[in-house]
Chains A and B, each alone.
Chain A
Amino acid sequence: MSEKNRSRGEMVTFMLNGARVQADPGSSLLEAIRFYGLDIPTLCYDEGLTPYGACRLCVVEVGSGKREKLVASCVHPVREGLEVRTHSNRVLKTRKMILELLIARCPGSKKLQDMASELELKEIKFRPLNDDCILCGLCVRMCEEQMAARAIGFAGRGRDRYITTPFDMTSEECRKCGACMYICPACELRCQGTGAETVLCSGCINTEPVCASRYDDAMCFMVPCLSCVRTPEDVK
């Protein structure tokens, strides 16, 4: 944030999917890309919090030839002359794979399921873990940076890493504001609409973009949409 303010003035120029564009030097690739209206899915990013680079869903490809590589755009700064591709085959494939892994970990999350249907994920090749946390760290940063409570954090490591309060006990620092739950992408129950027994909430898989964004009470991306009166024909 403070970086941003300091860097008013000279803009940097970089190549976004072949187009020459400009951005604030202090901004991250993700911010710059979103400024130009391109959609990059994210799970551990929030505008009001320090970027953390945990979910890796925001991958983009930078550089060319031998120096071509995948980076997490939320924690990668824009640089003069950088070549960025947001939807190359490699990026799309990687993004899907990452989402697949995340869903295998937390099939119960509606947010992940919705994202799966948007990215047209068709199957999950991994054994589901049925965990309820993807370790995105949003709750930890929310609690510390916005609520100034610093009540929760990571403990353990590797496959045993988890979110907890100190000593796994009720924390005195926590003021029960609920902000951690509000921001959590995983603790929302998935769409039960089709009574899906599979890992992927199958009602949403074969989708076209629908009216959901225009109907406040529409719950998901199903065609025909069950929660509003329009048919796919109307939508087109």
Chain B
Amino acid sequence: MRKKNQTTFEGSRVDPIIDKYNAEQGSLISILQDIQAEYRYLPREALEHVARRLNIPVVQAFGVATFFRAFTLEPRGRQLIHVCMGTACHVRGSQNVLEEVERKLEIKAGGTTPDGEYTLETVNCVGACALGPVVIRNEEYLSHMTPTKVSGLLKKV
């Protein structure tokens, strides 16, 4: 149940983004991308604010935010770890790599560490199969990963 939504969203970080796109309805996706870059996720109040300013239904902003996997409505960690689970990486042992990361961070794929440092996600092939198993840490591609290698990359939580 929603608490009667009286939260005044302090739009100061969002408004400049919306202004940059002249509050055009057609720029919804770009606006959401920028907000996601700013907050590392899409806060509910931000979505509501965007909908209000673009004069679109809130549910439309919500629909777009849930349509693309790049958007998330849950806060993400400061560091984003993607483990590739595509076929090529899989046969080279990405399952073990993933399990090691899960053990080390004490979260499951899709989860975020309680201290908000790491978010762990899986992807299915990033097009770098020859380098597999691939782990992507904050857009940095790490090749030929093994459980030992990957373990050394992560701070202990």
Contacts and interface: CB of A to CB of B under 8 A. Distances in A.
A151 B59 CA distance: 7
A172 B5 contact: yes
Interface in B1-48: 1-2, 5, 44, 47-48
A42 interface: no
A154 B58 contact: no
Given A155-B66, A157-B67, A167-B44, A150 B59 contact: yes
Q: Lowest 3 CB-CB distances: which A-B pairs, in order?
A: A153-B59, A150-B57, A166-B58
Contacts of B61: 166
A165 interface: yes
Nearest to B48: A166
Interface string A156-179: 110000001111011111000000
A172 B2 CA distance: 9
Interface in B41-93: 44, 47-48, 57-63, 66-67, 73
B contacts with A: majority SS: helix
Contact of A165 (B47, B59, B73): B59
B62 A153 contact: yes
B2 A170 contact: yes
- Of A155, A169, A171, A172, most buried by chain B (CB within 10 Å of CB) is A155
A156 B73 CA distance: 12
Interface in A171-217: 171-173
Contacts of B48: 166
Interface of B: 1-2, 5, 44, 47-48, 57-63, 66-67, 73
Interface string A121-163: 0000000000000000000000010000011111111000000
Contacts of B73: 167
A169 B57 CA distance: 15
Contact of A170 (B1, B44, B63, B66): B1
Interface of A: 144, 150-157, 164-167, 169-173
Given A150-B57, A173-B57, 20 more contacts: A144-B57, A150-B59, A150-B60, A152-B59, A153-B57, A154-B63, A155-B59, A155-B62, A156-B67, A157-B66, A164-B59, A166-B47, A166-B57, A166-B61, A167-B2, A169-B1, A169-B2, A170-B1, A172-B2, A173-B58
Nearest to B66: A155
A153 B58 CA distance: 9
A170 B48 CA distance: 14
Contacts of B2: 167, 169-170, 172
Nearest to A157: B67
- Of A144, A153, A165, A166, most buried by chain B (CB within 10 Å of CB) is A166
B1 A167 contact: no
18 contacts: A151-B57, A151-B59, A152-B59, A153-B59, A153-B63, A154-B63, A155-B59, A155-B67, A156-B66, A156-B67, A157-B67, A164-B62, A166-B47, A166-B58, A166-B61, A169-B1, A169-B2, A171-B59
B12 to A, nearest CB: 22
Nearest to A170: B2
Nearest to A172: B5
A166 B59 contact: yes
Contacts of A165: 59
Nearest to B1: A170
B65 to A, nearest CB: 8
B91 to A, nearest CB: 26
Contacts of B58: 166, 173
B61 to A, nearest CB: 8
